[in-house]
Amino acid sequence: MVKIRSHEELRVFQIVFEASMEIFHVSIDIPKEERYSLTDQIRRSSRSVCANLAEGFRKMKYPKSFVAKLIDCEGEAAETQVWLKYAKDCPYFREETFQVLDQKYNQILGMLVNMGLQPAKWSY
């Protein structure tokens, strides 16, 4: 078993980071009047998953703290899905863009839940 030494080595972190960058790029075209109500919110929540995961990684030696950060990640990922739905329905994102990103966040949520169910597996 390979020991993971950095949050950036976690596959879930890599997927989350990639998804948040995709959100950044597709959200550039959201109208300026949505800057604070939608654009900032969707970018913030998608990036927060990464930030909370990095913080949680540093708390792995404390399983309850680690799991709590994973739960925060789940909340931010779910929030991102809500903002994605708004972006699609407003309609600022194409259906295809929404489907790809929503599916990635479902995958991310599954990975986070599995990590939280087996925190000892991730300890270093």
For 98, residues 6+ apart whose C-beta sits below 8 A from its C-beta are 84, 85, 87, 88
Q: What residue has token string 């270093």?
A: 124
- Residue 1: is its pLDDT beyond 60? no
Q: What is the pLDDT of residue 2?
A: 60
- Tell me the per-residue pLDDT of 58-81, one tens digit each, with 9 for 90 and over: 999 899 999 999 999 999 999 999
Domain ranges in the chain? 11-27+34-117
pLDDT at 121 (0 to 100): 84
pTM of the model: 0.94
Q: Are 56 and 76 in contact (CB under 8 A)?
A: no
In a 3-state reduction of DSSP, which class is residue 57? helix
Task: Tell me the fold of 11-27+34-117.
Answer: de novo design (two linked rop proteins) (1.20.1440)
Query: What are the pLDDT digits (tens) for 5-31?
Result: 899 999 999 999 999 999 999 999 999
